[in-house]
Structure 1
């Protein structure tokens, strides 16, 4: 006789969907806020970690792993940055849920954290929703700076998207960059720029190609030329990421991560690569 299948929710925290914030102009992208049903603070976690979210899907229980986008200091809820898939799936179901819908959240895990590298400078490289752990890290570093604990070294965030409207939390990241206590630079990279995308803070090109240009390494295969943001000089940007002193944190599409690793691992920046291998 086969044993009854155990319910994965028995070891998870009962929660509810507190809200969804769709990105303007990007119907497939949203920030979801989830809070404990009890109203108590969430369990502690480290910036950059992920967790499991479960919900009922008919007679089954669907489970997905999401990087946490909120900082550890946001003690009352988690935030997740999610793209709705083109085909039906569990992730897409979240977009159809009403506030208050029941969810279950597991214990945070993963080693993709700031502590993975002791090098003085950090470059965060993301495309799409791979931004989520870097949102958490950036929010955490801002909170620490406001409390008087300022991160040493330079922090540079490269976020690659197809269109400017896909840039999640742009105003918040720009505000963090304006924080005089942090040496933080935010560099949005637009891979499919249109004529109207003339913002001087945008770099044009796939994020991996922009990174290779900054490191003065061979490109990853995209023949389109990289155009750096007009408000930053190439020399100034390169000074932020010296070889042997810079950790390169990667998160996003598998193809992007693989391409960067292939070009960087044997370079002077190779010892500073930090990424999660999930393929």
Structure 2
């Protein structure tokens, strides 16, 4: 039977107001279950801002603050499963689990119930985290990629967590004996360079050459100055489209709008630039009078 156990956040790294990395250690005498890279564990905090489900007149379901008679939002326990970003060997050697999380918000801008509490963690103060002593999930290389010669991983934001666990574990195992013969490619995207979690770690692993690993990182909001030339510019989904020889999402949307006659092109600038824009629109078969 799965039991609740007590752990403590021993470190917290803020990458941005909405992204963080933290480590959890079990209470004295405890240890985490063994696991495979790519799996998850359920965490819980006891002081989360609670919500309740309501159905609007339009039939849509949404969540609103659960308030008491005085209008104060109730607080209580909330549990959620998170992918583990530490590698199994790190947990075996040092005893911690690491997590890479995003501060979720709903459509009204309210923070997620558990992540709101997680982002208030202060190691050494407000740091208690309950965990359930079962690690599960079949998003593992053994279940998803066994026998394939090339494994392509595409990660955006905190979706990197299971992949970084896998790559770190593969790198570790390759240093202890014959490495995995498969070729691994990781496309990693986020908004800014600061939000590219584990970027330097992954670059180091790729440079070490223990396994056939290619790491491509890209940012959708590159810095106006001082941009790292090793980083791509654009969404990771468009990098994938480029590698597969597919049109970019923006190009696809423009073509779809042109076919439906829904688009209108406007231009402002020097005459030569306006003329060039008109030429491009004509090449794209936008109907006359729509540009």
TM-score (norm 2): 0.68
String of CA shifts for 1:57-111, please: whole Å, max 9, x gaps. Answer: 2662111111100001122010000122342321121111222522221211111
Contact persistence 1:64–1:91 (CA under 8 A): no
Structure 2 residue corresponding to 1:102, chosen from 107, 128, 145: 128
Decide whether the 8 Å contact of 2:45 with 2:117 is kept in 1: no
Aligned to 1:156: 185
Question: Does residue 68 of structure 1 match 2:84?
Answer: yes
Q: Is the 8 A contact 1:164 1:197 kept in 2?
A: no
Counterpart of 1:264? none
Offset, 1:13: 2.4
Q: Partner of 2:67 in structure 1?
A: none
Rounded Cα–Cα distance in structure 1 between residues aligned with 2:151 and 2:14? 30
| Residue 157 of structure 2, aligned match among 128, 134, 153 | 128
- Match for residue 57 of structure 1? 47
User: Shift in Å at residue 12 of structure 1?
Assistant: 2.3
- Name structure 1 gaps, 5 residues minimum: 1-7, 225-279
Number of matched residues? 213
Secondary structure in structure 1 of the residue aligned to 2:82: strand
CA distance in 2, matches of 1:197, 1:129: 25
Distance in 2 (CA, whole Å) between partners of 1:183 and 1:40 is 36
Matched, 1:181 2:210: yes
* Equivalent residue number for residue 13 of structure 1: 5
For residues 226 and 190 of structure 2, the distance between their equivalents in structure 1, rounded to whole angstroms, comes to 13
Structure 1 position 172, deviation (Å): 0.7
Task: Return closer, same or farther for 1:104/1:211 CA change in 2, 3 Å cut-off.
Answer: same
8 Å Cα contact 2:21-2:101 kept in structure 1: yes
Distance 1:193 1:180 in 2: 28
Match of 1:257 in 2: none
Which sits farther off after the overlay, 134-143 or 209-218? 209-218
The 1-side partners of 2:200 and 2:207 are apart by 10
Q: Give SS of 1:108's match.
A: strand
Larger Rg computed on CA atoms:
2
Greater shift in the superposed pair: 89-98 or 52-61: 52-61
Query: Secondary structure at the residue paired with 2:135?
Result: coil
Extract unaligned runs of 5+ from structure 2.
49-74, 253-291
Distance in 2 of aligned mates of 1:39 and 1:205: 47
Aligned pairs (5 A) from 1:217-236: 217-219=246-248, 221-223=249-251
Q: Does residue 137 of structure 2 align to residue 114 of structure 1?
A: no
Deviations 1:36-55 (Å, cap 9, x if unpaired)? 11244321011011110012
1:60 counterpart SS class: strand
Contact 2:154-2:186 at 8 Å conserved across structures: yes
2:77 and 2:227 mapped to 1: Cα distance? 46
CA–CA separation in structure 1 for the residues paired with 2:251 and 2:100 = 30
Contact residue 14 and residue 21 of structure 2 kept, 8 A: yes
